[in-house]
Amino acid sequence: MSFQSTVSSGRDSSINSGTSSTTQHQLIRIGTFTSANVAMVSNEMNRLTSKQREVIKNTFKLMQANSVYYGTSVFVRLLSEHPEYKTIWPQFRSIPDSSIVSSDALRRHACAYMNGLKVIIDSMDDDEKLAEETYKIAKSHLKWGVRSFHLETMLPAVIAVLRVCMHRDDQLAEDAWSKLFDILAKLIEMFRAECHALIKRSL
């Protein structure tokens, strides 16, 4: 899937309007973690080879060496390319575009983002733990209307920062991270569909 075509296809209009406020809150309340989620996550994560998992862990350690800086760099690149994404997060909406890069709000969010990545990467070899953590992260983003294509369009910024960390291009690392993000994007949509189905059955 082309990242640029995903953005230009018009689906970004769902950032604020794709899910009503009432439905967003229902999604958070009604979804519960189940054993089926473990199987779902395990099935997706099996797409990552042991070598790719090792590469992800090792390259993420490079980012962790200066976690806030590199996390902020990811969001600076993302918002420079897609300034409309600033409206996803309420804490960014009142900050002028000219000030967002140097804002404390961006640094705090970058820190939370890197912590979330760490949880996922640290759990890659424990299907149950990974399923639980991925499910919690996916659910926490439903209220903001975050969809799989938002995650997909973030990947180029992550790859660019990884290249800075590694001081080189590394196709093996880029392929591993691309697959991880593809897996996470699919899980977000799976969990979203699951929660919507639960809501429909409860009506």
pLDDT digits (tens, 9 = 90+) for 78-91: 999 988 888 888 88
Asked whether residue 99 is assigned to any structural domain, the reply reads yes
Asked whether residue 110 is assigned to any structural domain, the reply reads yes
Whole-model pTM?
0.78
Q: Please give the residue range of the domain that contains residue 177.
A: 3-7+19-202
More confident of the two residues 134 and 126:
126
Q: Residue 61 belongs to a domain with what CATH number?
A: 1.10.490.10
Reduced to 3 states (helix: H, G, I; strand: E, B; else coil), residue 21 is helix
Among the residue ranges 59-63, 145-149, 163-167, the one predicted with the least confidence is: 145-149
Is 138 within 8 Å of 191 (Cβ atoms)? Answer: yes
Q: Residues of the chain with pLDDT > 90: what percent?
A: 42
Q: Provide the pLDDT for residue 18.
A: 44
Asked whether residue 13 is assigned to any structural domain, the reply reads no
Count of domains in the chain?
1
Asked whether residue 74 is assigned to any structural domain, the reply reads yes
Asked whether residue 45 is assigned to any structural domain, the reply reads yes
